[in-house]
Every structure is written in structure tokens, then in C-alpha cells.
Chain A
């Protein structure tokens, strides 16, 4: 076949129904890395600045912050953000290790993905237990 006869655009199947695709564990870690990052940006940064600023005003303001953090809703927000931070940090360390060619083969990547998920959940649970 001459070069000019080749079709320019090959019809390729596009199949991106996220609810029908079975995501392997490394993909789950990856999308959660992204989601946790977005959450830390949208909620984490402004909340962090607010909290630090308020808690530095006076001992009374500090005490108020402690009381506020005792509310169930505040605890839930704190635990979710703690999970986002821990998952993002661990997934990031996994990324850096892979940059250094550690654990890039399939079995190792699956193991480190599982480790990231489990460790993030366990550490978050430990924080939740301390808060309640």
C-alpha cells in the first residue's frame, strides 16, 4: 500500500465509562492522589491559614479553637483532611521511589499501592481514635 493510500485518521475505540472500567489498585491510588491533592488545595490551605491565624491571637482564642475542634463536624473534617494529607504524602513518596526505579515492575507497584492505601487508612484511624 502506498503511503498516500493510508487512512489519515484511524477509528479508535473510545471507552471511558469510569463506572464500567475495573481499576487496578495502582490506578485507585493514583486517582486518590489527585483527589486528595484537590481537596487539600480547595479546603486544606484556607482552613490551615484560618486556624493558625486564629490560634495565634491569644490564649482565649487558642482555647476556643480547642473547643471548636471538639465538635463532631470539625472532627470529621479534620479526619478527612488528615487522610488526604497522609495519602497524598505516601503516594508522593511512592512516586519518588518509582522515579528512582524502585518498585516499577508490576508486582512491586501493586504491593506499594496496597501498602500506600492500607498505611494511609491505618494512620488516619490512629488520628481519629486520638480525636475521639
Chain B
């Protein structure tokens, strides 16, 4: 826990400074999770604010302060899920959509200003994004929480409110789908490049 239970209890009672303290303690971690879940840096803060907005209006529903962190994770997952669904709809109507970061990167690459490490990080990010975009939003979020965020099955159990065995099955299936996408992407030169770059970046 990054804050005391007492602060959460005070925030539940409507204490604004206590709520501020919670946001300050958790915002960096939450924004990091969101960044890896949605892969669009320019929208991370917007989704992060949505998470804390939902937290503010739902804090009174939190029964015990002990379950605060899984609760916050659940809000984060739900906000990311909503964003990804909206984004998918938008992408369907606007196929040539590029993130600001991609545009900046393209400009910088054209000008030869991007260093080697940055290019490799970008390659890895794009390869994983492409792979995860081949599966559903639910699979993407579950896999990111488990494999990238490093959450344990016990933690995921609290977030998803499902039994460990059911989670294992869902994870296995999601992984199979990603592996299939990974196998298909592995035959493409861009993915191969990212995989090679990975050894340097790790």
C-alpha cells in the first residue's frame, strides 16, 4: 500500500486533501499501467484522469480499505477497456489514424534525429502492440496485467473476481491467440527486426 488506510477512510468521508494524497501516491503507477494497456502516450493522462474521477465518485462503495489496490486496478482496467473499445470503433472509421508519437517518430526518423536505443524501443513497442491488437481487448488487458505488469494470479483473482482456475484457462487461451499472432507476425520482416532488437533492449 502506498498510502495509509486512514487516508483512504478520510477520502471516503469526502476529505479533498486526503483524496489528493491518494492521487499523488498512485498516479505515476496508474499512468504507467494505462500507458502499457492502451499504447497511445497522448491519451494516457486523459484515461488516468477518468480512472481517478471514477475513484472519486465510487470511493463510498469501497467496503474495506484493504481492497483498495485491487479496486483501483479494476477501475484502471475498466477505463482502459472502455478506451480501447472506443478506439477500435474510431480506427474502423478512420484507417489512416496515427498516434502523435508515431507522427513525431516518423518526422524525427526522416530527419535522422532518433538514436538507436529509441528506435529499438519503438520497434518492440510496435511489435507488441501489433500482436496484442490481433486479439480482443479483454485478452490484451489480461495478458498485459499478467505478463507485462507482473501481477500474480492471486492479485488478478481479486481484480477480476473469478477463481484462479478460470483465470488460468483464460490466460492460456489468450496466450495461444497471441502466440498465433506472434507466429504470423514472426514471418514478417518488421516483427523479425523487433525480435532481434529485443536482445539489445533487454
Q: Is B one of A's binding partners?
A: no
